[in-house]
Structure 1
């Protein structure tokens, strides 16, 4: 029997042990293959987010998968070698050279890598059309996907993972040279000393984690760029270092404190489980910390994207309150637009608004815009009549609400000298205290002062090039006085049209965009010609649908890899504890008592990482929720996170139960 046949025979005998690893790596290859298929599929090359292409997201995600898979595969190799130390020692005793043993390990890794690569690539090709359809569904696109093999994707997948598994196999080959024969033979006889820990380190871990949480909850999420990056980086450093120190110092310290509780500790199963776990947590502190952080990243990523996706429908009116809007349209063009809508026959017009706003300059000692943050400065703004604003509110069916971007509380008759202020900022911080204060309005080199009787964040013209500028609503009589003095360049005219089914107006909008002159086009935001509900709807769903798709599969990959690492670690420890469990059986411990101790021991290991990860993700999501109130409406992030956490825990518990059964089979199954 040659070494290749020996390696193949070993895999067959230990296939059950390799199965979880094979499933995880095959899944990684499959997802990488699907992402590459989408990247190389010309059908997706036209989809964009802002100035970039959707395919760029999948390229970045594919790179992230390869990097994560590299860590997982190399980490798993270490576990496999540890489980086979005695087997390798026996090979040495019967006369096999280290180079021969290394070659056998090399072949085993290559065979497993080839199986994972072949299965993953085939599955990726087979399911690429199915998952492309899911992606288009998430992106609110009804385009049909034709099945075609993207050979560039196949070649890229095979080459990437063959290189990865080749590196892994070379690493496995070299591992045999790192151990002496005596170390391999006495692998399970290494004594465990009472774990050392630092009391100060334990206290500092709690302080760092609390500090990270506190900074995350109080940092000003309105600030962007470098100002937000610094506190975010501080939070990250505090949480990561705090988590490492928590598992290295605080938790072993807490476990040793439990041993001093005689009523709790002197129970048969507790003596075993607590005694075992107090050593294991210290020894595995780095791994448990990584699992906890990976858990937090996975839950946060999946919950945030899922929550955002579910809220997208409510955000569309913020970007486009009208079903269709154009700027500076004359009566003839307006009639042509109505005729096109009628001829298309796709939707019906329920309301139209042709309104004007006048360019002015506004100044209040306490007011500034977000981009400047300079209170008291004079800013460009607009004025509008109250009858026009009432008509917009009625036709766009705006709900009543204060300080919300898609709501307004305007319900008053303005008197001369009074004004209702519509802030162009997205946050209420700049306008919430303006009611009752004077607003200076400069027009034609004349400054008039108006008393602010109400404030709103309502984005009545959506996400236009003008939307960040404030508007002062005046009485009709006051507005008409300014209108009589205004020149043609001072007035901006808008035409807003409401459809009975804006989500089904795609063909209508395409037809309208063909007849609207280039110089009247409203906005290039999201890469669309005019501002339309369906245009914004498809644009934001294209972006966040892709985010959800990528986040979902990378999250599952993280979970499978983390669960696999935890599983293999427990298998190694079970093999190391076989002799101790033999002794416990001989002194009279029953199978039920031993299983109860194993259940408790593994529950602590799995539960600690999960609990810490959930705690981290909770504060991360609370911070995320504060940054995502674009529409002035609190998103149900934590409710949506509950759904993700529930699914996560179910899959995580599967690995826990699998570990318990395997651990028990090893601990009880051997009889002397």
Structure 2
């Protein structure tokens, strides 16, 4: 029989065993294909050129993350597949086949599995592409007409990336088999299955894991003396947390369980002997899986928190842009009534306010944020403006040598503490007491760094710059926006050339930040992808473990163990398998979400709790399915008693 025929026969006969692998890989392909389809379809054109460009950049970044995830997921799944198949294909040695031919047989079978997953994933992706975009734009609250558009480029990109990664590990498996002995193939599923680990080594790994993980947590929320949370610290925090989680599952957790196993009072109470010892003996083989699942669900919680933080940021930034419809900046001190008259001829004015500012020369200011354009505002003038506009005003007047910064809202900020910052104005050092983000100065506050000083200080600092007047208006009928803007433009042309006059107009029909709304929706998708991926990894691992446990449970039944005791043991063992990654994630998520809170100045505690509860619900479902499947495969389910 030729190799291809034998491989096809094995593939058909064992397809049921491959099904979990095919479905998991297909899901990964489906998600990656849909992200690529977003880029190459016409759906983003409705956002405008700038929003489309930003959204494509975000999607490309997420696609890179998905490729990294795909790499590790295929690595893990093909290793599990190889371990499971080694004993079966090792029998071919006794049929006279060489290791090279056995390796070829494995490579063909694995390739058939991978290609099947690719075909199923691409087909499912094409069918769900429209639905994916519809959900994406619905979550983003963007009205767009969705039409089916098939593009061949996403198919080629998805197939190329997936096959390149997949066949790396097919080749790795082939080399592994060629270099394996007959004994190692026959005992492939037994290697490292029941191995108690050295207590001293576990203790060292436990201490190292605790220190490394604690360092990662500290770096995630650390603030330096000047209030800057450096991006390098965040990168190091991610690295330390990942390493710490692996050391925790490879050191501290097995160390604790081996200690519990030595405590006879604990071990023999409430029928713990079976499942505790099983966890101890299998931890060396499974700890990487638990660590991977923990990191994935931690990523999912972080992705959801990031999405909601961006949504919150978007809404606040939009408030900045909508406080005033028109802002006129001029050196003319009595311009307000004339501008009011022009606007009032076309629509009612909801509110208006004017305030003098000092536009500072760039070389007179030295500040950490290097904003480039600076201005001063008197405390009493700003308070009066807030009363006219109806904005909250709850900070104290700065003392001599103090300033309060009125800043804009950025998507994220590396400055997490604004109370330890100093700024030099005209050679004098001022202490910044706080930073406020209430949009008193509207859109100008997004482009100019305003510092609030007390009234006396304001008068003394006038010589350092040019005194200008800002006239701010919010009009009621936005339908006449273009008419008013044109009349203001003509008025500016007629103004005497001795005066400076600039106009800022906020077009209500344009939204340059819709890419943030899309990013928010993509973060929700990533949240679901990472949760489902971690759940599928845990289910697949425990599903394969159940086949390896058949003989042990058969022996336990023969020596008189009741099905009820064995069922409780399986439930407890799998509960530990799902519970440990979840517990570590729940603790770690507090620090990752808190770091986001600092950078994005948003309260994400409720999102953290909701995301953790969502993970617990999905893990509970996977746990129940795993228990039922495990009990059936080892022959202790209720059906097996009939």
- Mean alpha-carbon deviation: is it higher for 647-656 or for 599-608? 647-656
Matches of 1:472 and 1:82, distance apart in 2: 70
Map residues 125-524 of structure 1 onto 2, 5 A cutoff.
125-188=126-189, 192-197=194-199, 198=201, 199-220=203-224, 223-224=227-228, 228-267=230-269, 269-310=271-312, 312-318=314-320, 320-328=322-330, 342=347, 349-359=349-359, 369-371=367-369, 381-384=375-378, 386=380, 389=382, 392-402=385-395, 422-424=404-406, 458-464=438-444, 467-472=448-453, 474=455, 490-499=467-476, 517=489
1:279-311 deviations in whole A, cap 9, x for unaligned? 222333333323322222221122222243245
Change (3 A) 1:588 1:27: same
The total of aligned residue pairs comes to: 611
1:435-474 deviations in whole A, cap 9, x for unaligned? xxxx9998xx9x9xx9x99996644113536531213464
In structure 2, what is the equivalent of residue 19 of structure 1?
Answer: 19
What's the secondary structure of 1:322's corresponding residue? coil
How much has 1:140 moved relative to structure 2? 4.0
In structure 2, what is the equivalent of residue 662 of structure 1?
Answer: 629
Matches of 1:144 and 1:112, distance apart in 2: 37
1:45-93 deviations in whole A, cap 9, x for unaligned? 5646689532122122223322321221132111112122332123333
In structure 2, what is the equivalent of residue 618 of structure 1?
Answer: 590
Matches of 1:259 and 1:517, distance apart in 2: 82
TM-score (norm 1): 0.77
In structure 2, what is the equivalent of residue 376 of structure 1?
Answer: none
Matches of 2:237 and 2:310, distance apart in 1: 23
In structure 1, what is the equivalent of residue 75 of structure 2?
Answer: 74
What's the secondary structure of 2:390's corresponding residue? coil
2:606 corresponds to which of 639, 650, 671 = 639
What's the secondary structure of 1:399's corresponding residue? coil
Matches of 1:455 and 1:249, distance apart in 2: 45
1:539 and 2:543 aligned: no
Which segments of 5 or more consecutive residues in structure 1 lack a partner in the other structure?
A: 343-347, 374-378, 403-408, 522-528, 630-634
In structure 2, what is the equivalent of residue 62 of structure 1?
Answer: 63
In structure 2, what is the equivalent of residue 526 of structure 1?
Answer: none
What's the secondary structure of 2:207's corresponding residue? helix
Matches of 1:453 and 1:298, distance apart in 2: 37
1:621-666 deviations in whole A, cap 9, x for unaligned? 112212222xxxxx33010122222222222223322322222222
What's the secondary structure of 2:449's corresponding residue? coil
Change (3 A) 1:567 1:316: same
1:228-258 deviations in whole A, cap 9, x for unaligned? 1343344334323322222222211111111
TM-score (norm 2): 0.81
Matches of 1:161 and 1:516, distance apart in 2: 57
2:581 corresponds to which of 598, 606, 609 = 609
How much has 1:184 moved relative to structure 2? 2.4
Please say if residues 360 and 383 of structure 1, whose CA atoms lie closer than 8 Å, have aligned partners that are also in contact: no
How much has 1:313 moved relative to structure 2? 2.3
Change (3 A) 1:560 1:171: farther
Which segments of 5 or more consecutive residues in structure 2 lack a partner in the other structure?
A: 409-414, 494-502
How much has 1:36 moved relative to structure 2? 1.4
Map residues 110-125 of structure 1 onto 2, 5 A cutoff.
110-125=111-126
Change (3 A) 1:155 1:664: same
What's the secondary structure of 2:35's corresponding residue? helix
How much has 1:321 moved relative to structure 2? 3.0
Matches of 2:550 and 2:28, distance apart in 1: 33
What's the secondary structure of 1:53's corresponding residue? helix
